[in-house]
């Protein structure tokens, strides 16, 4: 199977992508490990983390040949995208669509997931070879936007990020998303250094995802 397709399918299989933000590489690594320990297999390591590419390299090396998929988030330019890809990132996420980032990702056969809010933005992204669109911020758009977008664009794969929680996860999947990005609602215990709390939250998200998929 083509590399790009393999990574895209791993993101969809993960179902919940943990969006990791931290003030240091060590902290980002600890939080990522706590999430994976809880059973979630999707990690988006944001480029707001210092030396994010080094953390990505460490994670992808450790979890190669497993179900875990490691990507880079908050990628704003093609230089950052290339750094992430060379470090081993298996998907690239941006808060908005950048055609130059799309070109780099296509060149290296890495899925690109740009933030989009409108059908026009989604169509532009699809035309550039994007496989998964990040509906961002999800808290502003809401599940109703997913249904609205899928009417004229039934082929678009949507992953909302921002405002996703255990309480509304089922609503998002019912609307037709293929995965969700989870940040503060999942990782809040990490603010107080409670990594066990992060793992416990991850376990709850895993259980909820399993419940949703069995329905």
Angle between helices 78-86 and 99-107 (to 10 degrees): 30
Strands lying side by side in the sheet with 180-182: 158-160, 133-135, 112-116, 92-94, 69-73, 42-46, 16-20, 180-182
Rg of the chain, C-alpha, whole Å: 16
Which amino acids are annotated catalytic?
A: 44, 134
Count Cβ atoms within 10 A of the Cβ of residue 191 and give its class: 0-12 exposed, 13-18 middle, 19 or more buried.
exposed
Residues contacting 49, CB < 8 A, separation 6+: 20, 21, 22, 23, 24, 25, 28, 55
**Token pair of 32, please?**
């990522």
């Amino acid at each position: 199977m083509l590399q790009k397709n393999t990574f895209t399918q791993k993101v969809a299989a993960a179902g919940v992508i943990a969006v990791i933000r931290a003030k240091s590489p060590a902290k980002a690594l600890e939080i990522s490990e706590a999430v994976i320990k809880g059973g979630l297999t999707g990690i988006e390591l944001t480029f707001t983390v210092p030396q994010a590419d080094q953390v990505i390299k460490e994670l992808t090396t450790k979890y190669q040949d497993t179900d875990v998929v490691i990507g880079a988030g908050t990628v704003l330019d093609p230089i950052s995208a290339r750094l992430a890809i060379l470090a081993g990132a298996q998907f690239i996420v941006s808060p908005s669509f950048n055609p130059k980032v799309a070109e780099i990702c296509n060149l290296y056969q890495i899925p690109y997931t740009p933030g989009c809010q409108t059908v026009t933005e989604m169509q532009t992204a699809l035309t550039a070879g994007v496989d998964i669109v990040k509906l961002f911020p999800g808290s502003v758009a809401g599940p109703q936007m997913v249904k609205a977008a899928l009417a004229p664009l039934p082929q678009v794969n949507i992953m909302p990020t921002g405002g996703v929680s255990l309480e509304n996860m089922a609503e998002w999947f019912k609307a037709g998303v293929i995965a969700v990005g989870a940040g503060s609602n999942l990782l809040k215990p990490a603010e107080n250094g409670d990594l066990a709390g992060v793992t416990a939250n991850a376990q709850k998200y895993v259980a909820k995802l399993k419940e949703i998929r069995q329905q």
